[in-house]
Amino acid sequence: MPSERSALQWIVLFIEKYWLQFLKGTGMTVLLAVIGTAAGFVIGLIIGVVRTIPKQAGGKTGFSLRALALGVLNSLLAIYTEVLRGTPMMVQAMLIYYGLTEFAKVNIAAIPAGMIVITLNTGAYMAEIVRGGIQSIDPGQSEAAKAIGMNHWKTMLYVVLPQAVRNILPATGNEFVVNLKDSSVLNVITVTELFYATRAIRGSYYRTYEPFLIAAAIYLALTFISSRLLRLLEKYLDGPRDFSLAQNVGRTRRK
């Protein structure tokens, strides 16, 4: 008798019967979070760097085409971050998925649309995080780089960004965890991630509690494991705390 089952028995039943659906949903959720965070990170990095380009080469003042172009570009980037951060991802998903089909006559599948939404959204948040990360680096670092002849790009690439990226790693990890959870809103455009899969499973027995308890446990496991992994990555990037004195450094080492 199905109604005689305890909650635990229901859970076992759901896992036995629908483990593959749960697994597929989990896989899609992880994929969305990984792609969204990675691509969003790249977008954020590019925007963050573009926003730090000096408006005037070498501190000159007055009007120049370069300053105008940078001004326009910065305004566009500011609009992008404000709009994406100021509207819910669920609404963005609807607008992009249905809007593209309706107005641009582009037939886009739900999954790529979902990936675009989560990427654009993460990019807007990462842009602010990267900007903060760059600003947190002691200006002395880029002065020293300029003083040995590095231009803006080399200074960014070799000196500022490696330090900034290290500093924003915790915030980036946080974005990843948020993406694991918030990818669930993409169910509104029928992306088959974990929430969508769970809702489908619920329909088979008209039981809500147990499938979503399983989903909650999976979400929790995903976020817990990824925050631990990120902590390990931070430790690895910081390198050893001690160093050894070099011997015979006068002779150039040969391979």
Positions in the binding site for other proteins (CB under 8 A): 58-60, 138, 140-141, 143-151, 154, 158-159, 162-163, 166, 239, 242-246, 249-250, 252-253
Residue 153 in contact with residue 52, Cβ under 8 Å? no
**CB closer to other proteins, 24 vs 166:** 166
Q: How far is the CB of 228 from other proteins (least distance, A)?
A: 25
User: Distance between CA 134 and CA 199 in Å, rounded?
Assistant: 42
Nearer to other proteins, 64 or 101 (CB): 64
Q: What is the dihedral of CA 35, 91, 197, 27, to 10 degrees?
A: 0
Report the nearest approach of other proteins to the CB of residue 71 (Å): 20
The smaller minimum CB distance to other proteins, of residues 116 and 145, is found at 145
Q: Which residues contact 131 (CB under 8 A, 6 or more apart)?
A: 47, 48, 51, 52
CB of 68 to other proteins, least distance (A): 18
Nearer to other proteins, 94 or 171 (CB): 171
**Min dist. Cβ of residue 61 to other proteins (A):** 8
Which residue, 8 or 246, is less far from other proteins as judged by CB? 246
In angstroms, what is the minimal distance from the CB of 57 to other proteins? 9
